[in-house]
Chains A and B, each alone.
Chain A
Amino acid sequence: MPVPIVWTAVDTLPTWTLTDLDILKRLQYSLMESLFNTNADGINFLTTRTSPAELTTFMNQRQQNFLYLTGAIVVRATAASVGGQPSYNYPSNKIHARSITWQAVDSSGNLTGKPKRLERTDAFALSLTEGDPPGRPRFFDDGSAQPTLEFRVSPVTSAAGQFRLMMVPQPVTLLGSGTALSIPDEMASALHFGVMADFLSSDGESLDADRAAFAESLYDLMVDVTCIMLGNDPPQRKQSDRAGSGAGGSSDNATAAPASASS
Chain B
Amino acid sequence: MPYSNINLGQLRALLDNQLGQSAPALWRTDEKNKILQDTLRWWNILTGYWKGPFTITTTASAPWYALPAPLAGLSTIRVEFQSRSLRPATRYDMDHGRDGWEAETTASGGDVPTKPKYYVIGGTNLLGIWPADAAGNSALVVNSILTTPTPTLDSDAIDLAPELIDPLLSGAQALAVFKEGGVEAKLAGPLFTKFIEAAGDQCAVFKASAAYRRYMGIDYGRAKMPYRLPAAQIGAR
Contacts and interface: CB of A to CB of B under 8 A. Distances in A.
B204 to A, nearest CB: 13
Nearest to A253: B189
Interface in B168-203: 174, 178-179, 181, 185-186, 188-190, 192-193, 196-197
A190 to B, nearest CB: 10
A170 interface: no
Nearest to A99: B95
A168 B126 CA distance: 12
B211 A225 contact: yes
Contacts of B70: 16-17, 184-185
A110 B206 CA distance: 46
Nearest to B28: A39
Contacts of B88: 231
Given A98-B91, A228-B209, A76 B69 contact: no
B179 A29 contact: yes
A116 B193 CA distance: 46
Contacts of B181: 208, 211
A247 B206 contact: no
Contacts of A115: 100, 102-103
B186 A248 contact: no
A252 interface: yes
Interface in B110-157: 121-126, 145, 147-148, 150
Interface residues of B, number: 63
Specify which of A222, A242, A245 lies most central, judged by the most chain B CB atoms within 10 Å of its CB.
Answer: A242
A186 interface: yes
Given A117-B95, A210-B185, A248-B216, A186 B41 contact: yes
Specify which of B34, B45, B124 lies most central, judged by the most chain A CB atoms within 10 Å of its CB.
Answer: B124
A114 B211 CA distance: 38
A110 B38 CA distance: 50
Nearest to A29: B31
Chain A interface category by residue count = 35 or more
Contact of B214 (A25, A74, A98, A246): A246
A75 B150 CA distance: 28
B186 A252 contact: yes
Contacts of B196: 221, 246, 248
Contacts of A227: 211
Interface string A53-84: 00000000000000000011111100000000
B7 interface: no
A34 B30 CA distance: 12
A247 B148 CA distance: 24
A151 B99 CA distance: 21
A34 B31 CA distance: 10
A189 B38 CA distance: 7
Interface of B: 27-28, 30-31, 34, 38, 41-42, 44-46, 64, 66, 69-70, 73-75, 88, 90-92, 95, 99-100, 102-104, 121-126, 145, 147-148, 150, 174, 178-179, 181, 185-186, 188-190, 192-193, 196-197, 205-206, 209-211, 214-219, 222
17 contacts: A14-B66, A74-B122, A74-B126, A208-B181, A211-B178, A221-B196, A221-B214, A221-B215, A230-B90, A242-B214, A243-B222, A245-B214, A247-B190, A251-B189, A252-B186, A253-B186, A253-B188
Interface of A: 11, 14-17, 25-26, 29-32, 34, 39-40, 71-76, 98-99, 101, 103, 114-117, 164, 166, 168, 184-189, 192, 208, 210-211, 214-215, 217-218, 220-222, 224-232, 234, 242-254
Q: Which 3 A-B pairs have the closest CB atoms?
A: A249-B217, A247-B189, A246-B215
